[in-house]
Amino acid sequence: MSELIRHPTGMVGAGLLSIIALTVILGPFIAPYDPQAFHPAVRLTGPSAAHWLGTDQFGRDIFSRLLTGASPTILFGVGATALGVLAGSIIGVTAAVAGGWVDSVIMRTLDGLLAVPDLLFTLLIVTILGGGIGEAMLAVAVAFTPGMARIARSSVLSIRTREYILAAIARDESRAYIIVQEVIPNAIGPIIVEATIRVSFAIMIGATLGFLGLGAQPPSTEWGLMVAEARQYMYRSPWVVAVPGIAIAVAALGFNLFGDALRDAFDPRRRRR
């Protein structure tokens, strides 16, 4: 852990993630205004003492909307990734442990699914499920599953012939014991690294779906939806689109930096440099 913080990318990443976490938890309580309240007198005004980040087309306080929008935006990314990692790990570990034709069938199916671009896959599933933030989250999770399954499988395969596994087999431990006690704890590193980096992708895809009208629905303050709703006014008041847009980038950046630092910490080959 200290290794993580000492590295500058890890330090900045951890800092950004702390700010993001605080915003998600405290945002709704420290918002100076009701994020949905219309203030017709101050429509599309720039940053001022009363409205730190200005107001939108209905005179709603952008700073308050940003603070309350952190939770649908960020928790979407974390939730979708967690579901995808869980499903992918189960499939990947099953394939690796089973081997033989089960492994072949699973892997070839995954190859086929991986040939479809993530966003396209997500759009197809969202269309099946219908738009909405829960449906969009499930769709991103499904789209992430094949990639995570591959990583989980290769991670398990890489440790399959290690001495501690062979020792457990020699001790005549049960299959379940070996998987739960020996395989999973040792194979989980690369999965966690990949998951952290994927949260940033999930946040970006979620915001993109919100932007396309297929994710969060009004009056949600999800950041992608905020950009979409303000687009009509973007030439008159650029900050209405810039503020939520930059917020998405900062959140994605935090997970990216932290994920990279995690990878360096897990990979002794890279740690030296």
Q: Give contact residues for other proteins (rule: CB under 8 A).
A: 108-109, 111-113, 115-120, 123-125, 127-128, 130, 200, 204-205, 207-208, 211-212, 224, 227, 231, 234-235, 238, 241-242, 245-246, 248-253, 256-257, 273
Measured from the CB atom, is 159 or 253 closer to other proteins? 253
Q: Report the C-alpha gap between 72 and 132 in whole angstroms.
A: 12
Measured from the CB atom, is 113 or 192 closer to other proteins? 113
Instruction: Spell out the residues 6+ positions from residue 148 whose beta carbon is closer than 8 angstroms to its own.
Output: 84, 85, 87, 88, 89, 92, 191, 194, 195, 198
Q: Which amino acid is at 226?
A: M
**In the complex, what is the shortest distance from the CB of residue 207 to other proteins, in angstroms, rounded to a whole number?**
6
**In the complex, what is the shortest distance from the CB of residue 8 to other proteins, in angstroms, rounded to a whole number?**
10
Q: Distances from the Cα of 39 to the Cαs of 32, 49, 235, in angstroms?
A: 13, 15, 21
Q: Are 247 and 222 in contact (CB under 8 A)?
A: no
Q: How many helices (H) and strands (E) does the chain have?
A: 12, 0
Instruction: Spell out the residues 6+ positions from residue 120 whose beta carbon is closer than 8 angstroms to its own.
Output: none
Measured from the CB atom, is 55 or 179 closer to other proteins? 55
**In the complex, what is the shortest distance from the CB of residue 251 to other proteins, in angstroms, rounded to a whole number?**
8
**In the complex, what is the shortest distance from the CB of residue 63 to other proteins, in angstroms, rounded to a whole number?**
19
Residue at token pair 């197809």: 124
**In the complex, what is the shortest distance from the CB of residue 97 to other proteins, in angstroms, rounded to a whole number?**
23
Could you give the 3-state DSSP secondary structure of residue 55? Answer: strand
Measured from the CB atom, is 4 or 165 closer to other proteins? 4
**In the complex, what is the shortest distance from the CB of residue 167 to other proteins, in angstroms, rounded to a whole number?**
32
Measured from the CB atom, is 125 or 192 closer to other proteins? 125
Measured from the CB atom, is 108 or 171 closer to other proteins? 108
**Structural tokens at position 160:** 């399959």
Q: Distances from the Cα of 42 to the Cαs of 1, 19, 46, 59, 233, in angstroms?
A: 48, 29, 9, 5, 14
Instruction: Spell out the residues 6+ positions from residue 41 whose beta carbon is closer than 8 angstroms to its own.
Output: 59
Could you give the 3-state DSSP secondary structure of residue 61? Answer: strand
Measured from the CB atom, is 97 or 114 closer to other proteins? 114
**In the complex, what is the shortest distance from the CB of residue 83 to other proteins, in angstroms, rounded to a whole number?**
19
